[in-house]
Amino acid sequence: MRKFAVWGLLLALLAVAGCGNEEITEVPKQAITVVDGDTIRVRLKGKEETVRLLLVDTPETNHPEIGKQPLGEEAKEFTQKLIHEAKKIELEKEETKRDKYGRFLAYVVVDGKLLQEELVKSGFARIAYVEDADAKYLDKMKEAEQKAQQKKVGIWQWDDYSKRDGFKTESLKKERNIFVASKNSDVYHPIGCHVANDIKPENLIYYYSEQEAIKDNRHRSQVKECWEAYQ
């Protein structure tokens, strides 16, 4: 019975609209919850499905092992904004329906724009998990990624942050334009400060300039060795 229920949900999520392996359905934005930059949940007919955006990877917001990564919250907010402001949202699948975690795989189109391409263009995502070299939107996304890299926007402003196997927060420890703070504190530290390791992911805040931290009513911590290393 469970298999039939799941299949019924998939049919509800993606009604066939055309030939071949492509399936497209329009989804009301009220039925969508954004998990992070590259993952949403869609609720229809009383059932919920986790949808992973095809071909992209954004920094984590609250991973059980990795925690929160720089620009993860910004990527999530970017996805939320596009979905919230959209008048029409469509899900489009290719032949592969699910990833190894059981999440449904799809392209998300907002008012005629491919959400994945917009994330890549703005530097909030890298191209990843490419199973098919002939994927429908891959070429235009590669072009968008190349332009984002050339402009050094978002994830590309740091040379060693985005790698083939994910985002490497540890590569940013010596960066001079990233600071961390806890939601429960009014001070901030350089990202390489050991104190940052003790901040719980759900409380961690990243700032990308001291001015940004100060504007948020925070001041430099008094962890002397951290600021000595930063100088």
Q: How many residues does the chain have?
A: 231
Q: What is the DSSP string of 42-60?
A: EEETTEEEEEEETTEE---
Active site residue 212: no
Active site residue: 49, 103, 145, 218, which one?
103
**144-199 per-position pLDDT tens digit:** 999 999 999 999 999 999 999 999 999 999 999 999 999 999 999 999 999 988 99
**23 pairs with which residues across the strands?**
93
Measure the CA–CA gap between 8 and 205, rounded to whole angstroms: 41
Full-model pTM: 0.88
Number of Cβ atoms within 10 Å of the Cβ of 108:
26
Active site residue: 23, 49, 60, 92, which one?
60
pLDDT value at residue 22: 57
Reported as a pLDDT band with limits 50, 70 and 90, residue 17 is: very low
Q: What amino acid is encoded at 148 in this protein?
A: A
Measure the CA–CA gap between 108 and 208, rounded to whole angstroms: 29
For the chain, what percentages of helix, strand and coil (3-state, to nearest 5) are there?
A: 35, 25, 40
Active site residue 60: yes
Cα torsion 97, 11, 47, 24: sign: positive
Query: Hey, what are 144's tokens?
Result: 């968008």
Widest CA span in the chain:
65
Active site residue: 52, 73, 90, 218, which one?
52
pLDDT value at residue 67: 87
Active site residue 103: yes
Q: What is the DSSP string of 175-204?
A: -SS-EEEETT-SEEEETT-GGGGGS-GGGE
Q: Which domains does the chain have, with CATH numbers?
A: 2-159 (2.40.50.90), 173-230 (no CATH)
